[in-house]
Amino acid sequence: MYQKMIKSEKILSLIPLSLLLVSGWTTSSFANSQALVADMKVFQIEANQKVKKELKATDRVKPTALLEYKVEYSNISSQSLKNLKLNLPLPADVTYTGQSLPQDAYASVDGKSFAKAPLTRMENGKKVNVPLAEYRFLQWNVSELKPKQKIIVSAQVQVNTSK
């Protein structure tokens, strides 16, 4: 498990997607086969937003650090995988910045109900945007991933400050 220290008393858990794949969180199709594999990497984005440093499990990040989760999904089977729902959980210690690729991501605050981002809700009779800090999952719907084909999804997050 990726773990990052925030100050000396708080740990930020950067969940590796491989653990979620094994538990069946990532795709509805994955539960039926081992044809889809995922490789997740976490990068720290420097201030100029052009330099990215891949983080290792022993690296530490500070509050307000900008990170990018990048996941490469590969169909290692000889058959097309259809109607995939690729989920990326967002740890509670980070806030989604609204930047993702592909840009047509769906989002969720609970991991069960997904809607096209940006999320909205009714407050005092008015439709308002759900704060990005409340997003806990992103999802990309892929109609087909052909044999040996790959797709990369990514999302930027900012490490929350200690409470």
Q: Which residues contact 29 (CB under 8 A, 6 or more apart)?
A: 35, 36, 81, 82, 83, 84
Task: Read off the pLDDT of residues 48-90 as tens digits, 9 standing for 90 and up.
Answer: 666 677 777 668 888 999 999 999 999 999 999 999 999 999 9
Task: Look up tokens 């769906």; give the residue.
Answer: 106
Listed in sequence order, the residues at least 6 apart from 8 whose beta carbon sits closer than 8 Å to its beta carbon are: none
Whether the Cβ atoms of residue 128 and residue 121 lie closer than 8 Å to each other: yes
Distance CA 3, CA 55 (A): 10
What are 29-58's pLDDT values in tens digits? 343 457 899 999 998 988 766 667 777 766
Per DSSP bridges, beta strands 137-145 and 81-89 are: antiparallel
Q: What value does the mean pLDDT of the chain take?
A: 80
Whole-prediction pTM: 0.76
At 156 the pLDDT is 94
- Check residue 80 and give its pLDDT: 94
